[in-house]
Structure 1
Amino acid sequence: MTDLDEFTQSLARNLRRLRAERGLTLDALAARAGISRGMLIQMEQARTNPSVGTVVKVGDALGVSISALLDFDRGPAVRLVPAGQAVRLWSTEAGSRGTLLVGTEAPGPLELWHWRLMPGEGHASDPHPPGTSELVHVTAGELTLQVDGADHPVPAGTSAAFESHVPHGYRNDGTEPVELTMAVAVPAPR
C-alpha cells in the first residue's frame, strides 16, 4: 500500500467516524465545509485524493485538525512522530512542499508544519474559522506573507503571528528556497 493509499484510507475511516460522532448527515457536513456532497462521498469511500484545501475545510467543519483526520496513533502523554511518519500534504514539481509534523486536539486543533517554497512559488489558503491563529518562523530565505490582501516580508530569523480567519497565503518572491516552520491553532468547537 502506498502512502497515498494509506492517506485516503485513513481519511475515509476517520471522516466517517467523526461525522457519525457529531450526528452530521452528508448534506449537513458538505454544507458546513463548503464542498459538494459528491466530494464528501468520494472522500468517505477513499475514492479520491482531495486537495489540501478540501481536507482543511472538512477538518474545520468538524472542529478537528488534519492530524485527527489522518489517524495518528493516540497514546501516552508524549507522542513522538519520527520524520518518516510526518505527512507531506502538498508538493510541487519544483520542490515546494508542506509537511504536517505533528498535531494535537487539546484544547482545540493545534498543528506544527514545515514548509519549503521554491523561488516563484506560493500557496494560498482559504480563511479558517474565527479565532484561528498562526505562528510562522522563517529559517531560510525571505517569505512574503499575505494576510487579507496585504504583503508582509518575513526574512530568515524572523517570526510572525497573525489571525488566519481571513484569506492568506505564503510566497517566495526571491531567488533562494524559503524554509519555514508554522503552527496553526484552531479554537475548540462549540
Structure 2
Amino acid sequence: MTKKVNITTESGADVQTVSAAVAGKLKEHRKRQKLSLDELSRRAGVSKGMLVEIEKCVANPSIAILCKLAAALGVSVADIVDVASAPAVHLIEGKDIPTLWTGPKGGSARLLAGTSGPNMIEMWRWELPPGESFESSGHPQGTFELFHVERGALSVTVGEAALLIPAGSSGVARTDAPHRYANDGDTTLLFTMTVAELHQLATAF
C-alpha cells in the first residue's frame, strides 16, 4: 500500500509553489469538466475532505493521490503540478521542477517534465539510498515505465515478476498492476524513469 508522503523539494520549486499549482490546476480542470467535488471524489476514490484541503492549498497530496486525480480527470500528473509541456518547444527551469516524493531514508522522486493527458508521457529522476523503497498500487491500464540506471542497481517488482537492473542498463515494465522499486544494495541508487500512459495501446506488450 502506498504511504502518503507530503510533497517536498530539493533544488526545484518550493513546497508552497507546488501546492499552489496543484490547488489551482485541480480546481481549473474540475470546473472545466463541470465536476462537483462529490463527483470527482467518487471517480477518483479520494475523500471529498481531502479534495477540499488540496484546493484550499492546505494539504499536500501523495503521488498516489495525484495519479488517481489525474486519471479521473483524464489529464496527466504533469498537467496538475504545472510542468506539462506547451506546444513546440518549452523550457522548464530547474527552479520549477518539483520533488513529489521523499522517503523516510531520504529518497526522492522529481517530475522533470511531462506532456498533457489523457495519453501522456512523463520523465522522472529517482534517488534511493540503501534500503529505501517505493510501492504503488498500480496505474491505469496501458501504462508502461522505462528505466535507465545511472548508479547502483534497481530492483523492480510487478506482481509476481521481479527484475534487477544494474548500472548502465535499462528495463521496461508494464505497471498497471501493483509494483515496487527498491534499492537492496549498499550504494545510493540513481535512475531515470519514463512513464507512458497510452490508452490505445493498452493491449500491447
Normalised by the size of structure 1, how large is the TM-score? Answer: 0.91
Query: What do residues 56-111 of structure 1 show as CA deviations (whole Å, max 9, x unaligned)?
Result: 21112212222110123764511122323211111135331100101111672211
What secondary structure is seen at the aligned counterpart in 2 of 1:160?
strand
Q: How does 1:26-37 map to 2 (within 5 A)?
A: 26-37=37-48
Match of residue 115, structure 1, among 118, 126, 130:
126
Over aligned residues, Cα RMSD in angstroms? 1.9
Aligned to 2:108: 97
The unaligned stretches of length 5 or more in structure 1 are none
Tell me the CA shift for residue 149 of structure 1.
Answer: 3.3
The unaligned stretches of length 5 or more in structure 2 are 1-12, 201-205
Query: What do residues 126-154 of structure 1 show as CA deviations (whole Å, max 9, x unaligned)?
Result: 21111111111111111110111332111
Distance 1:141 1:57, change over 3 A: same
Size of the alignment, in residue pairs? 188
What is the aligned-residue identity percentage?
A: 38
Aligned amino acid, residue 34 of structure 2? G
Aligned to 1:55: 66
Q: How does 1:1-190 map to 2 (within 5 A)?
A: 3-72=14-83, 75-92=86-103, 94-105=105-116, 108-187=119-198
- Contact 1:63-1:188 at 8 Å conserved across structures: no
Distance 1:69 1:108, change over 3 A: same
Tell me the CA shift for residue 51 of structure 1.
Answer: 1.5
What secondary structure is seen at the aligned counterpart in 2 of 1:133?
strand
What secondary structure is seen at the aligned counterpart in 1 of 2:59?
coil
- Contact 1:87-1:101 at 8 Å conserved across structures: yes
Normalised by the size of structure 2, how large is the TM-score? Answer: 0.84
Q: Which is worse superposed, 102-111 or 26-35?
A: 102-111
